[in-house]
Structure 1
Amino acid sequence: MDKQNKHKSICRQRKEREKQQRIQSILDAARTVFASKGYLKSTMDEIAMAAEITKPTIYLYFKSKDDLILSLILPLIAEIRVHLKKLEKDLNSGKIHDGRDLVLGIFHAYYNAYESSPETFRVLQLFQQKDLLGDFKPEIRSALDEKGRNNVILCRSMLTQGMEMGLLKKVDVYALADIIWGLVVGVVQLEDCKNDEENNHKLKIGTLGLAQQLITEALTRLE
């Protein structure tokens, strides 16, 4: 590569890095604003101010506020799926020997997503509020519903398999999957109200630990 082409390549790489940094700064700002003010009350002006850029600059990368929230939530849903797929692989390969490990694995898949990005997890909680769903464009709502539903289906599948293997007591798998997800989301939301993040998440860890214990004991006492 001659010097001129090398220089052009370096410039393109620098511009790409700057572009990705700008996109990330916008996403970081949106995550903070959404988590603190809620989706409906948040504005693109506030996100621009938090990112220290102009509002027209945001529109160079994101078409709308819906596009922003989609860009935030989808990676989190994908991360949950990665954890669940690893758990499924362990289950299929015989590495999971009892129902307790299976149930704890599902709990951990959800909570690990919270730990990796608490603010994005809170944005996901906002999305699940019934009154908010109608404010999304149909295509945005459909994309989020599909990805989230795939994770739920995978969770149900593993729980069903655990029951068929004799690791878990046979119960309504639809209800059980909802209970586990609802516990994680509910406990996180409740303890966040107590500023648990400032206390190194001790309340969340303790409360979820007890919930896991109660559920696993109930499900693994096979008759």
Structure 2
Amino acid sequence: MVCQLRRDREKALRIQSILDAAKKVFTSKGYLKATMDEIALAAEVTKPTIYLYFKAKDDLFFTLMLPLVDDIRQQLLKVENNLLTGKIGNGTSLITAIFNAFYHAYEILPSTFRIMQLFQQQGLMGELRPEVRSALNDQGRTNFIICRKLLTRGMEMGYIKKVNVYEMADVIWGSLVGIIQLEDAKFYDRKTKRLTENTLRLAERLIAEAMTIKTEER
């Protein structure tokens, strides 16, 4: 029993070490140029050891993305609960809450978020095996379904103006991703968290002001 627990703990630590190494290599080299040899070297394990746990490079990428995608989903579900229970009572609060749900993932997993940004920017989904690409798309699609559901509910409750929810969800997500990417590119060698957050909050306020139906207009 004790031996099994120790083996399980060692396995978990080894897997985490490999994932940390993959994150480091993906960040420095990009997904396309990263190799399993480099990841093995960074993790201080042999390449066959990596293949004990991950079939290919895209499995590593998928496993790294899961916590990011899952955090966004959990945050959006909290927004949904707050909306349904009356804790969110106007359009400004709703747009802010959705914005925060996306931003939270960047706050807790900034490196993973940037890997995802670069991956999307370079249009690398085609580099993933079909089954991995499908699984990742399903995860992301679920989050956008929840986001669009929140926007639809906000419109039905008279909190926000009626627009195309597919486009509105893309505006919110695209604003967040674009601003983070822009600030990172402009100030890659300096700490930009405060500036990035201030810019994001401005975008959030502008979108909320444009979308919110004021009480007297309902």
Compute the TM-score of the two structures, normalised by the length of structure 2.
Answer: 0.94
Give the C-alpha shift of residue 79 in structure 1: 1.0
Taking only the aligned residue pairs, the percentage that are identical comes to: 58
Aligned to 2:105: 113
Question: How do residues 3-42 of structure 1 correspond to structure 2 at under 5 angstroms?
Answer: 9-42=1-34
* 1:96–1:197 CA distance, 2 compared to 1 (3 A): farther
Summarize the Cα distance change of 1:196–1:205 in structure 2 as closer, same or farther, 3 Å threshold. Answer: farther
Contact 1:99/1:220 (CA < 8 Å) preserved in 2?
A: yes
Judge which range, 128-137 or 155-164, deviates more: 128-137
Does the CA-based 8 Å contact 1:196-1:204 persist in structure 2? no
Gaps of 5+ in 1: 1-8
Look up the SS of the partner of 2:186 in the other structure.
coil
Match of 2:147 in 1: 155
Distance, in Å, in 2 between the alignment partners of 1:99 and 1:137 is: 41
Q: CA deviation at 1:66?
A: 0.8
2:126 to 129, 134, 139: 134
- Measure how far apart 1:198 and its partner are: 4.2
Report the alpha carbon displacement of residue 130 of structure 1 after superposing the two structures with TM: 5.7
Aligned to 1:193: 185
Alignment partner of 1:51 is 2:43: yes
Greater C-alpha Rg? 1
Distance 1:168 1:196 in 2: 36
Could you report, residue by residue, the CA deviation over 1:2-40 in whole angstroms, capped at 9, with x for unpaired residues?
xxxxxxx11111111110000001001101111221110
Q: How many residue pairs get matched?
A: 215
Q: What whole-Å deviation, never above 9, does each CA across 1:89-147 have from its counterpart, x for those lacking one?
A: 11011110111111111111111101111111112223323631211111111001111
Q: Deviations over 1:180-211 (max 9, x none)?
A: 00011111111112346842501210110110
> Aligned partners of 1:195, 1:27: CA distance in 2, in Å?
27
Distance 1:179 1:33, change over 3 A: same
- Check the 8 A contact 1:196/1:202 in 2, yes or no: no
Unaligned runs of 5+ in 2: none
1:123 pairs with one of 98, 105, 115: 115
For residue 74 of structure 1, the aligned residue among 45, 49, 66 is: 66
Judging changes above 3 Å, is the alpha-carbon distance between structure 1 residues 100 and 30 closer, same or farther for their aligned structure 2 residues? Answer: same
In structure 2, C-alpha distance between the alignment counterparts of 1:114 and 1:206, rounded to whole Å: 14
Q: Which amino acid in structure 2 is aligned with residue 217 of structure 1?
A: E
